[in-house]
Amino acid sequence: MKLKFITALLCIVFGFSEMNAQSLEIIKLPAPQKSGGMSLMESLNNRQSQRSYSSKELTQQQMSNLLWAAYGINRPNGYRTAPSARAVHEYDIYIIKNDGWFVYDAEQHAMLKMGNENLQEHAGSQDYVQTAPVNLVFVADFDRMEVYDEEMKVFYSATNVGFISQNVYLWCASEGLGTVVRGLIDKEKAKEVLKLRPNQHVVLAQTVGYPGE
């Protein structure tokens, strides 16, 4: 069991080393703002799904805060803002914007630019996906989950993506931004255009942006 845990950690380290090597650019984000905003109870009261978006871009500070809230490191031991059973941290967050597509590197708190293509058409089938400035695609890497059998890989990855997406909901509510989590995404096509490995699986997508009319 200990060997499997070490193997999962090595998969994370080597996976991001490979992504760093393949990336076109490493965009270091400003330090996340960890104070201010609404209270938790206010954010819960304002939490809702939005299905109309402005094309107004988010600032780099907003992107920093969003990604840290979703899945950033919040303790010296490398643990995250979202729980992960046995700390395998199987998720990668792919960010699809009109100026390219990226992967969030929590260790560096950076966006790794993987391509210049606008892949918004592959981020979901709803019309507002094309309008919103940011679409997140949550990808579970089963190679990091060697501590589990196949059934438990599916179970825990399905559970853990709920924690991450709810973090996004609460941060957006606090910021006055809109968001909606979506299952309507062509997962096989997304897997192809994002150049995922066989054991990387698209699970959900989530749109973020300023509310439209």
pTM of this structure: 0.89
> Cβ contacts of residue 101 below 8 Å, gap of 6+?
94, 95, 113, 114, 115, 117, 119, 194
Q: Which DSSP helix (H) or strand (E) runs through 180?
A: strand 178-182
Counting beta carbons within 10 angstroms of the beta carbon of residue 76, is it exposed (0 to 12), middle (13 to 18) or buried (19 or more)? exposed
Q: In angstroms, how far is the first alpha carbon of the chain from the final one?
A: 53
210, pLDDT greater than 90: yes
The CATH number linked to 43 is 3.40.109.10
Q: What is the pLDDT of residue 5?
A: 45
The tens digit of pLDDT for each residue in 164-206 reads 999 999 999 999 999 999 999 999 999 999 999 999 999 999 9
Domain interval for residue 72: 2-209
101, pLDDT greater than 60: yes
Q: How many domains does the chain have?
A: 1
What are the φ/ψ torsions at residue 115 (nearest 5 degrees)? -170, 160
**Which pairs with CB-CB distance under 8 Å and at least 24 residues apart come from 126-130?**
126/51, 126/182, 126/184, 126/207, 128/51, 128/52, 128/53, 128/207, 128/212, 129/182, 129/205, 129/207
Provide, for the chain, the percentages of residues in helix, strand and coil under a 3-state DSSP scheme, each rounded to the nearest 5.
40, 25, 35
